[in-house]
Amino acid sequence: MVPEDMYVMSADGKVLSSPVSKPWPYKPPKCTDCAPLFMKAYLMRGAGAVIHSHGMETCIATMLNPGAKEFRITHMEMIKGIKGHGYHDELVIPIIENTPYEYELTDSLAEAIAAYPKATAVLVRNHGIYVWGDSWINAKTQAECYHYLFDAAIRLYQLGIDWTTPEHGPINNAKRPHSIVSPDIPSGCHAAKSAKHSVVLDIEGTTTPISFVTDVMFPYARDNVRKHLTSTYDSDETKEDIKLLRIQVEEDLKNGIVGSVPIPPDDASKEEVINSLVANVESMIKADRKITSLKQLQGHIWRTGFESKELQGVVFEDVPEVLKHWHASGTKVYIYSSGSREAQRLLFGNTTYGDLRRYLYGFFDTTTGNKRETRSYCEISLSLGVDNPAQILFITDVFQEAVAAKSAGNE
């Protein structure tokens, strides 16, 4: 295939130039039915290249659970080859249903792209996969990683091993609990059973709308990172933030994380260092990375926002009532979130319902450990000093976190 064999299209899908017909035995040129699907990735994700594969692994991966709307996998080395993901992250790929003609997939593909902003691929059940990247090299690299991960999941399934949990234990041991809370108070609130010593709550999606984090908190940190670093550059706190970011970026560069750029040495100009820090932080925020260096800096930026009243914490309407109920019944409530402990205190200390910290006994963040790893919940159990891990009720909207907590003996 040469350039003259390619169709060139405008952003609105109109054909600007077509291949010239070749003599028999070549067939007359025909633009692919995938064209409108490719255009969705170009326009909605700013992709530089899109690859469509009918690889056997992509088909079988969608059949492992016929009713699933997503393919999930975690703690596999090749996840690092997917943009914005690391070894500890959970890779989530939306699955859409197949249609007789590929162009009929356009709307459902667009809906999946919009609903999963971190995704760089969409699976089509019993059909294949669409993968996009910043360049053809990036798209090809990711496509190879996806096929590897699908093949691994299929083989693990055959062995009865669960590829969706950090521990990769037997599939039957990783079933989702039917209920992790019991409705024993009014107005839709939930409280721990009387036998529970403590309750540990996630924030994003559990006490607080995900939209508040993604549409308010993250943009505020992104838009103010340069201002914050410039005004506090010589403070001990910011020097520590920069030190942690340097360590993280060095690791990211070694692992080929897209968006990572080298940070100049300390003897470089202030402007050069800040420019590189801003580029890295913006990339980290865009990828929604759960890393301590980013969360610590975000917490310091958010502190300024809360102190200036530019930010105000948001929680679901039943949260204050249930916190009061638990507090009155003697149940201790803690927070465990990927956001820094300072950010957690700021959010609950400045909500639209007032200061809710009086109902909370403590805060845990990623310095305790990754939220999808069992040892993190073992560490929390030791910190809370319970006689039995089952005395702790952990509430989250993330299945992987619930599985990890359950494996540690929590309810």
From 106, 112, 132, select the one nearest 42 (Cα to Cα). 132
- CB neighbour class for 358 (10 Å; exposed up to 12, middle 13-18, buried from 19): exposed
Q: Are 103 and 33 in contact (CB under 8 A)?
A: yes
Q: Are 4 and 73 in contact (CB under 8 A)?
A: no
**How many whole angstroms separate alpha carbon 69 and alpha carbon 397?**
17
Q: Per residue in 381-391, is it b (16+ CB within 10 Å) or e — as a string?
A: beebebeebbb
Helices 236-255 & 292-307, crossing angle to 10 degrees?
A: 140
77 part of the active site: yes
Q: From the candidates 77, 104, 237, 272, give the one annotated as an active-site residue.
A: 77
Q: Residue 225 has which token pair?
A: 């990172």
User: Residue 409's Cα: distance from chain center in Å?
Assistant: 25
From 391, 394, 357, select the one nearest 374 (Cα to Cα). 394
Q: Are 311 and 305 in contact (CB under 8 A)?
A: yes
Residues noted as catalytic: 77
